[in-house]
Chains A and B, each alone.
Chain A
Amino acid sequence: MKKKPFLLAAEGINKSFDGFKAINDLNFYLTEGELRTVIGPNGAGKTTFLDIITGRTRPDSGNLEWDTDHDLLKLNEYEIYRMGIGRKFQTPTVFSDHTVIENLLLSMAGPRSIWHSLFGRVTAAQKERLAEILETIKLNTQAYRKAGELAHGQKQWLEIGMLLAQEARLLLVDEPAAGMTDEETYRTGELLLSLAGKHTIMVIEHDMEFVRQISQGRTVTVLHQGHVLAEGPVEKVQSDERVIEVYLGRKSKAA
């Protein structure tokens, strides 16, 4: 099969946990600059798929190519991160004992050596970038507060800010709207939309309102039992009978 220049290409991926097939012959492609939303019922393998991309879990079989000539399956977590793949976890995972600015500083793109961590200085450009990110994620008044003291929504935003500081090429965003108010959810959607194009973004989400807001005619992928069930614009996917059967039909929010 001839391959198009995809940023991320997953082919024939399988993964079982104790006989349960979490990922079943999964084929998934992302092009540079795309904003892709992935939906699917609980247990569809969404988070497992992210675990595989980020090196947390190794698949039983399959290929995972990054930028056409890197095999992600041969790299570990921090090597994959250094390829430019950043992840926002489902539950906000920030360093709660560190301040907001320290969280961003730790994520800042740059050398990751021990030497640099001891003697490297924060450059003026980096300081400017930090201020910019704080502005973007609307936490500039909270910069010196401990991340653990932030509200749930603010933690989610901080984690997105950490991905921005990393200058990730691919942002993997796992349920960003979980536990947010409608207002916060909407603003998160706006934030992700403003980042689309500059970064490649893959969002995993349950909230169909949110999915409609951010997809805007872009491709939505429906996962079911670890396999791609349907792909297309949100309207088309929503009217797909198989999708309705396994997922949307059971969700009142999707109606």
Chain B
Amino acid sequence: MNKAPAASKIRTPLLIAMAVFLVIVMPVLNVAGVIEDFTLNVWGKYLCYAIMAVSIDLLWGYTGLLCLGQALFFTLGGYMMGMHLMLMIGKLGSYNSDLPDFLVFLGHTKLPAIWQPFYSFPFAMLMVFLVPGILALIFGFLAFRSRIKGVYFSILTQALTYAAALLFFRNELLMGGNNGFTDFRTLLGANLREAPTQRILYIVSAILLVAVVAGCKWLTSTRFGLIQRAIRDSENRVLFSGYATANFKLFIFVLCAMIAAAAGALYVPQVGIINPGEMTTERSLEAVVWVALGGRGTLVGPVLGAVSVNALKSWATRAYPDMWLLILGGSFVLVVMFMPKGIIGIPAQVRALIAKMKNRGANSRQPVTTKQDAEVTEP
């Protein structure tokens, strides 16, 4: 698992096919009644996960930074969106107050100052990017300046995530404690409980996913992409080639935090809830598993991984609720052992297998040479 696979480029036709299917075909089938509203909504959730998975791939597969904090950035983005959605509930909450229910429950009579600007949707959107971005900037600056690498970097990101989760579980933070935010009503005036609104959210998620994959495809094709992969393979050599690797890593780390945050912001109105359970280290690890299963360093692999593992999860948690974690763990072990390049690498593996079979067939037709070979190689 240490040696990263070669960065195979996602081809443009495949990207266009993916875009057409997710952005156009799925919603059209939904309007036509072939795909249920529920299914489309669940897919919207998968696509948000897929966006986060792509951000992990950009960090892990391309730059060699195994970040176990992407779920934190994802959730922070979600919380920023959630704050706006909570205020949009207005007087429709259980206490008929302008304040979010949990604040009334905690005895507040005035909206805390920090909540005030979140009435504005553009401000909330800005915070979706700024809060995780600035956190990533500060954390990344300290970590990369101290040359923290490899497993130590992973452990630190894990610790950061854990600390943040503990903080968000506290009621004093005024972020809803362990219940988080829920009971959302409207977004930009549209009722979140109606199918057309959810359909639009799905389409926005699909467009964002395609844009992120296309953007990463471009990014990895530039000289920046070359430097990124060079850092992954031999960071010291990059330093000795005159590049300030810490700056490059910081740039990619902040960018990926913002990508994950955008996904989180779209996730929240689609699932209708956000709580600190989403920012635990287990969630980050799970996302890393999607990337590994799909095939890292491929951009499209993580998308496949995120969608297929979550589809499997949706099915398995209903069909075999007790077995779900075993199924996930088992499939991870299988992939690590037999499919080093993940789902995306299966066609190449099958081709190699067929070639091997053909060779064997060709050899058996010339038994003389095979026999001679055997005599030579076997003492």
Contacts and interface: CB of A to CB of B under 8 A. Distances in A.
Interface residues of B, number: 26
A117 B222 contact: yes
Interface stretch (A25-33, A92-100, A180-188, A235-243): A92-100
B233 A97 contact: yes
Given A95-B230, A97-B229, 4 more contacts: A78-B243, A97-B6, A117-B224, A166-B241
Nearest to B252: A114
Query: Which among B6, B227, B233, B241 has the greatest number of chain A C-beta atoms within 10 A?
Result: B241
A11 to B, nearest CB: 24
A105 B226 contact: yes
Interface in B1-34: 4, 6-7
Contacts of A87: 240
27 contacts: A56-B236, A78-B243, A78-B245, A81-B240, A81-B242, A87-B240, A93-B234, A95-B233, A96-B233, A97-B4, A97-B6, A97-B7, A97-B233, A98-B226, A98-B229, A98-B233, A106-B223, A106-B227, A106-B230, A107-B241, A112-B242, A114-B248, A118-B223, A146-B6, A162-B241, A166-B241, A166-B242
A105 B243 CA distance: 13
A106 B226 contact: yes
A78 B223 CA distance: 17
Contacts of A86: 240
A116 B227 CA distance: 12
Contacts of A116: 223
Interface in B175-193: none
B232 to A, nearest CB: 8
Contacts of A93: 234, 236-237, 240
Contacts of A107: 241
Contacts of A78: 239-245
Nearest to B4: A97
A114 B241 contact: no
Interface of B: 4, 6-7, 219, 222-224, 226-227, 229-230, 233-234, 236-245, 247-248, 251
A118 B219 CA distance: 7
- Contact count band on A: 20 to 34
Interface in A74-111: 76-78, 81-82, 86-87, 89, 93-98, 102, 105-107
B226 A114 contact: no
A77 B234 CA distance: 14
A232 interface: no
A42 B230 CA distance: 31
Interface of A: 54, 56, 76-78, 81-82, 86-87, 89, 93-98, 102, 105-107, 112, 114, 116-120, 146, 162, 166
A81 B237 CA distance: 11
A222 B70 CA distance: 54
Contacts, number: 74
Nearest to A115: B224
B247 A95 contact: no
Nearest to B3: A97
A114 B251 CA distance: 8
Contacts of B247: 114
A82 B234 contact: no
10 shortest interchain CB distances as A-B pairs: A81-B242, A117-B224, A77-B239, A117-B223, A95-B230, A118-B224, A78-B242, A93-B237, A112-B242, A82-B242
B227 A117 contact: yes
A103 to B, nearest CB: 9
A224 B170 CA distance: 64
Contacts of B230: 95, 98, 106
Nearest to B222: A118
A77 B240 CA distance: 6
Nearest to B243: A112
Query: Which among B236, B240, B248 has the greatest number of chain A C-beta atoms within 10 A?
Result: B240
Contacts of A97: 4, 6-7, 229, 233
A81 B241 contact: yes
Contacts of B241: 78, 81, 106-107, 162, 166
Nearest to A110: B242
Contact of A102 (B224, B226, B234): B226
Contacts of B237: 89, 93-95
B234 A105 contact: no
A116 to B, nearest CB: 8
A54 B226 contact: no
A97 B237 CA distance: 13
A11 B205 CA distance: 63
A117 B244 CA distance: 12
A112 B239 CA distance: 11
A105 B223 contact: yes
B239 A95 contact: no
Contacts of B219: 118
Nearest to A95: B230
A90 to B, nearest CB: 13
A76 B144 CA distance: 14
A98 B229 CA distance: 8
Contacts of B226: 98, 102, 105-106
Contacts of B234: 93, 95
A25 B311 CA distance: 67
A45 to B, nearest CB: 20
A114 B223 contact: no
B63 to A, nearest CB: 13
A122 to B, nearest CB: 8
A86 B240 CA distance: 7
Contacts of A120: 223
Nearest to A86: B240
Contact of A112 (B7, B244, B251): B244
Nearest to B231: A95
